[in-house]
Amino acid sequence: MSRKIWTDVDDYIVSSLFEADPVLDAVLAANRDQGLPAIDVSAAQGKLLSLLVRIGGAKKVLEIGTLGGYSTIWMARGLPADGKIATLELDPHHARVARSNFERAGVSDRVDLRTGPALQSLAALGRENAGPFDLIFIDADKPNNPNYLSWAMRLSRPGTVIICDNVIRDGAVLDEDGRDVNVEGARAAFSFIGGDKRLDGTAIQTVGAKGYDGFAIAIVN
Ligand SMILES: C[S@@+](CC[C@H](N)C(=O)[O-])C[C@H]1O[C@@H](n2cnc3c(N)ncnc32)[C@H](O)[C@@H]1O
Ligand SMILES: [Mg+2]
């Protein structure tokens, strides 16, 4: 099995199940043109996030790690008219590109984009009593996964769904040597979710246009 067939099958999924989507095509083109790395979720994964928002009836969503807003737009599309997504991004250039993508996608009124270190933005959300969020998607700097999961718990309620992206990393999650900080972050997410009795979770390995990775998903008891 190779990346070629994973990508071809992702293309098949998209062409069979999704409407043509010039807006999201333009979003990815803008990200490329502005020099953003192509580390957003795949289309199939973005649609899954959108469906999870709808399945859970989420009205308040929190995303940590915006990049150009590709995953934000997928989730915003799953929200009801009075729903809102807060999304946190460190890099001002990424945030600028994301803001113009939100305009392009017609979701600006549903998005609260906050620029700066996510730990500071999370503290501000805490002070503002912005929670509890219904769904929280963690997809930023991986070494901070345990800090983000701690904040996710503080900003949640029983029933909140927490998703943590990129926790398989080509299977490197099995490496115990501590040489890769991103792998350490993935393993820390497993330790956190497995070790907190308030959380009931699993992880799903994925292959596709973005290679071999996976996400953890948990519900707050
Ligand atoms: C994997 S990308 C997010 C991809 C996006 N969720 C998507 O799928 O379209 C990770 C983002 O987290 C941002 N980031 C890194 N460290 C951060 C921090 N301390 N606080 C907030 N954002 C951070 C990076 O600048 C980058 O844009
Ligand atoms: Mg990711």
Please choose, from the candidates 195, 168, 193, the residue with its C-alpha nearest in 3D space to the C-alpha of residue 183: 168
Spatial strand order of the sheet with 60-64 comes to 111-115, 84-89, 60-64, 135-138, 161-165, 211-220, 199-208
Under 8 Å CB-to-CB from 76, ≥6 apart: which residues?
Answer: 61, 83, 85, 102, 105, 107, 110, 111
Sole residue written with tokens 């503002």: 128
Residue 43 scores a pLDDT above 70:
yes
pLDDT band (50, 70, 90) for residue 178: confident
- ipTM of the prediction: 0.99
Q: Report if pTM > 0.95.
A: yes
Domains and CATH numbers, the chain: 3-220 (3.40.50.150)
Ligand nearest to the CA of 49: 1
Distance 139 CA to ligand 1 centre (A): 6
Which residue lies with its CA nearest to atom 14 of ligand 1? 140
What is the distance between the alpha carbons of residues 32 and 88, in angstroms, rounded to a whole number? 20
Within 6 Å (CB) of ligand 1, which residues are found?
Answer: 39-41, 65-67, 70-71, 88-91, 94, 117-118, 139-141
Specify the pLDDT at position 1. 65
pLDDT one-digit tens code per residue, 57-70: 999 999 999 999 99
Alpha-carbon torsion angle 163, 41, 30, 21, nearest 10: -100
Distance 138 CA to ligand 2 centre (A): 8
CA 16 to centroid of ligand 1, rounded, Å? 30
pLDDT tens-digit profile of 83-139?
999 999 999 999 999 999 999 999 999 999 999 999 999 999 999 999 999 999 999
